[in-house]
Amino acid sequence: MNDNKKTKIKTIKKPSSIVAAAAIMAVIASAAMILGIQTQMSQHALAQSNGSNGTTAASASAGNTTVTVNPSQSTNKEFWINTVHLDGATSLHAAVANPNSAQNIPTHPAENPPVNSTIPTGGGFRITLPNKVGAWDFRSFTFAPDQLVVNQGDKVTLHFIGVLGVHHLITVDGVGTFALLRGQIHTVSFIANNPGTIIFFCSIHLPNMVGQILVLPKSA
């Protein structure tokens, strides 16, 4: 082979129309891919923010989700019952802080104790007369909770807790009577043999410090 001869290399050039078509197809494919991703994202976001009927996801979830709960079949029922009182603290003067109020926000209007009280006697309600700064209080004693439901044949255990009130004398019908001081817990247990209502009450704070145990009859 002669070194002086130059080897000619033929370069095959693609027609410009083919190159342009290939470029256009690549652009179209990329655009379709991007559009598909954006569409999927939009549909996913829409599904999260809207239910099938146009409600919000929270509403749809709350309205369409069903949870199955298996209630306890135990015949041993146990309750913790607090002795409490509700207080309506106020003052003779408008917008004056009441030292007897736990919240103690002086936004109430001026109030005077009723001249002719309509509250029943028995100790369950009490009006504390105004003190030197004009603060006074209306108190109502109660149990929390005061309504219980059991089934006939259940063994019922009641724990009475002396939270508020210096002294209580509590009776559970058919079970017994006992004293309860602040900071004490007294427990009674019994079998609810018969359907009906069992009353428990504090004889010192009648007529409102009363609770009921509803005993449901056995199913046929």
Q: Is 59 a residue whose pLDDT tops 80?
A: no
pLDDT (mean) for 71-95: 90
Q: Is 60 a residue whose pLDDT tops 60?
A: no
pLDDT digits over 116-129, tens only? Answer: 888 898 999 999 88
Structure tokens at 68: 């199955």
List the beta strands (DSSP E) in 50-134: 76-91, 125-128
What confidence score (pLDDT) does residue 34 get? 47
List the beta strands (DSSP E) in 125-195: 125-128, 135-144, 147-151, 155-162, 167-172, 176-181, 185-191
Confidence class for position 57, pLDDT limits 50, 70, 90: very low
What confidence score (pLDDT) does residue 33 get? 53
Long-range interactions of 175-181: CB distance < 8 A, separation 24+: 177/203, 180/83
pLDDT (mean) for 182-202: 98
Longest C-alpha distance within the chain, in Å?
136
Q: Where are the domains of the chain?
A: 16-64, 76-216
Confidence class for position 133, pLDDT limits 50, 70, 90: confident
Phi, psi for 195 (deg, rounded to 5)? -70, 155
Rounded to whole angstroms, the Cα distance separating 94 from 117 reads 22
Superfamily (CATH) of domain 76-216 = Cupredoxins -  blue copper proteins (2.60.40.420)
pLDDT digits over 143-153, tens only? Answer: 999 999 999 99
Rounded to whole angstroms, the Cα distance separating 185 from 162 reads 6
